[in-house]
Structure 1
Amino acid sequence: MTVKQLRAFLAVAQTLSFTQACERLHLSQPALSLAIKGLEESLGGKLLIRSTRSVRLTPEGESLLPLSKHLLAQWDNTEERLRQRFTLQLGRLSVAAMPAFACNLLPAALVKFRQQYPKINITVHDVINEEVMEMVRSRQVEMGIAFSTEGTGSLLFTPLFDDHFVAVVPATSVLNQATRLSWSTLLAHDFITLQRPSIIRRLLEQALRNQQMELPVAFESHQLSTVGRMVADGLGVSAVPSMCIGQMQALGARCIPLTAPGISCQVGIVTQQELSVAAHALRNVLLETVQAPSTPRD
């Protein structure tokens, strides 16, 4: 049973006229008759009784009439919804992003996306870097934004920008007068950072270990906003990716470029091989919108 056959049957059943049904469907009489015959053969019996003067439904045809209306309405609705998805007039998209990106750079990209595609609804999961990868890998989300790691496997990683770490110090600290800071100077103060398994914490520890330096942690938190507030209130200093500069400054802390060593990592889009039309559109907006954060106090 095909959609074409059902449409032919419904047109004849509603008009009780092959001539009118042909006009409605823009079909020839032989094509319409062939569609009805094919439907009857596939179902195993007569649906219509046709004479030279009239057409009427058999009992089986009567029972098929409401079902055919329902099936064709569902088909038309499905067809229209898919057409709207392909033309970005309808849709839903799930994205996972590490909190540093979700809080600081993603909103501006979503504003631009929403302006272009107002009917696409987006769910954002702000989760740690490892969970971003896992959610994309398990197809819980179509797209992730994360730091580049060696564990991408079969996932595709599209670079957005290279981020670098900056020092975060209290506005009242003597360090706030410096235009640049070395790690040795920064680590002479109480250090505040994110708890493991944060990728930011791991990147810092690995880079400093390569320089035979240790990260002396005085305070830990799961949230960047808490780290920023602790620094702003004078509990110590920290280091965060430059994408977090605006967030740290809004909390009352100050950001200063770090040297010796300079620590950086690539930020990018993580996806499977195939993307929906909506996910592809968001990927393009991210590539067009997201820029490498500027360094304070050049």
Structure 2
Amino acid sequence: MSISIRQLKAFIEIAATGSFIEASENLHLSQPALSLSIKKLEGAVGGTLFNRSRKGIQLTPEGKRFLPVARRLVSDWDSALDDVARLFSKQAGRVSIAALPTLAAGFLPTVLADFKRQYPNLEISVHDLLASQIDELVSEGRADIGLSVQPRNREAMHFEPLIEDHFVAVCPAGHPLLNQQEVSWNELLAYPIIDLDRMSSTRQAIERVLGDLDREMNLFCEVSQIGTVGRMVAAGLGVSALPSLSFLQISKEGLGWRPLISPRVPRQLGIITPTRTPLSAAAKAMLNEIREHARLEQTPLLS
């Protein structure tokens, strides 16, 4: 059985007006075209839907039973078209972002504020996660966009560099290292270190630096939250190395920072998207907003 939406609308209009002539005018169809639509519809359902007599056009009993069904089908069709149109016009939809905590707290808030002003009806969800978890969510389609370091699985995901972050030495206020304009890694490693756990991309980057320097850190404490690192350093329990964006998400009270050098370690952050799955209109709009903010974020992140 093959029934078109045009045939259903013709059937409903004739039933409403009781006239092929009036229905053809309302639908902007010729009478032969309208008659052909009804003939095909009756052929598809297997019987007559209208009685044609001198008294006019009347629904058969089967036609009366079919009329509410036809109205519901047309209503569902119109609703479906309206829903997809709202998605493409970004009047409805949802965007899911998985981001490193450094980016979720230090970069995303202004992006989301501007995006929400432009598209107030779109739903947004943000997951602040470790880099490995971000890779997993994006590759499995549970997040539209990832904001992270370069993913390990480069075939399944595309990485677009956006921001080059850098490491800074974070010290308690009054610490002797703050008397310098810059701090070397060797100078920082002379003090007890408070660091993130080994699952974090920040810790993994630091471990690579230590390997290149053939040094080990005097680890005072290992924690899972950057905010905890800041509070412990402010309490004078040690020093830390953090990406500059990380420093933006912790309280600066009782803290100071200096650029870390010898080596100066860049940290490329960017957008992760799936290579095999196209983005929705809402996700594309979010992507453009992220790119625009990253372009404007070329000034120093700390001052």
Q: TM-score, normalised by structure 1?
A: 0.95
**Is the aligned partner of 1:279 residue 2:283?**
yes
Equivalent position of 1:67 in the other structure: 69
The separation in 2 between residues aligned to 1:88 and 1:154, in whole angstroms, is: 27
**Is the aligned partner of 1:294 residue 2:296?**
no
The separation in 2 between residues aligned to 1:167 and 1:42, in whole angstroms, is: 76
What one-letter code is carried by the residue in structure 1 that aligns with 2:122? Answer: I
Q: Using the TM superposition, give the Cα deviation of residue 53 of structure 1 relative to its aligned residue in structure 2, in angstroms.
A: 4.0
How do 1:1-298 and structure 2 match up within 5 A? 1-250=3-252, 252-273=254-275, 274-290=278-294, 291-292=297-298, 294=300, 296=302
Alignment gaps of 5+ in structure 1:
none
Of 240-249 and 141-150, the range deviating more from structure 2: 240-249
Deviations 1:62-119 (A, max 9, x none): 1111111112112111111111111111111111111111011011111111122111
Q: Using the TM superposition, give the Cα deviation of residue 251 of structure 1 relative to its aligned residue in structure 2, in angstroms.
A: 5.0
RMSD: 1.6
Q: Using the TM superposition, give the Cα deviation of residue 32 of structure 1 relative to its aligned residue in structure 2, in angstroms.
A: 1.0
The separation in 1 between residues aligned to 2:60 and 2:213, in whole angstroms, is: 88
Q: Is the 8 A contact 2:148 2:270 kept in 1?
A: yes
Q: Using the TM superposition, give the Cα deviation of residue 235 of structure 1 relative to its aligned residue in structure 2, in angstroms.
A: 1.3
The separation in 1 between residues aligned to 2:254 and 2:29, in whole angstroms, is: 73
What one-letter code is carried by the residue in structure 2 that aligns with 1:10? Answer: I
User: Once the two structures are aligned, what percentage of the paired residues are identical?
Assistant: 40
The separation in 2 between residues aligned to 1:247 and 1:235, in whole angstroms, is: 20
Deviations 1:176-225 (A, max 9, x none): 22211011111111111111211111111012212212233211111111
Q: Is the 8 A contact 2:102 2:249 kept in 1?
A: no
The separation in 2 between residues aligned to 1:130 and 1:221, in whole angstroms, is: 18
SS at match of 1:123: strand
The separation in 1 between residues aligned to 2:20 and 2:236, in whole angstroms, is: 86
Q: Is the 8 A contact 2:227 2:251 kept in 1?
A: no
Tell me the number of residue pairs that the alignment of Structure 1 and Structure 2 aligns.
297
The separation in 2 between residues aligned to 1:226 and 1:254, in whole angstroms, is: 16
Alignment gaps of 5+ in structure 2:
none
SS at match of 2:29: coil
The separation in 2 between residues aligned to 1:48 and 1:27, in whole angstroms, is: 19
What one-letter code is carried by the residue in structure 1 that aligns with 2:246? Answer: C
Q: Using the TM superposition, give the Cα deviation of residue 293 of structure 1 relative to its aligned residue in structure 2, in angstroms.
A: 6.2
Distance 1:252 1:276, change over 3 A: farther
Of 247-256 and 206-215, the range deviating more from structure 2: 247-256
SS at match of 2:15: helix
Distance 1:292 1:58, change over 3 A: same
The separation in 1 between residues aligned to 2:252 and 2:26, in whole angstroms, is: 65
The separation in 2 between residues aligned to 1:27 and 1:15, in whole angstroms, is: 15
Q: Is the 8 A contact 1:248 1:255 kept in 2?
A: no
What one-letter code is carried by the residue in structure 2 that aligns with 1:72? Answer: V
Deviations 1:151-200 (A, max 9, x none): 33221111111111111111132222221101111111111111121111
What one-letter code is carried by the residue in structure 1 that aligns with 2:279? Answer: L
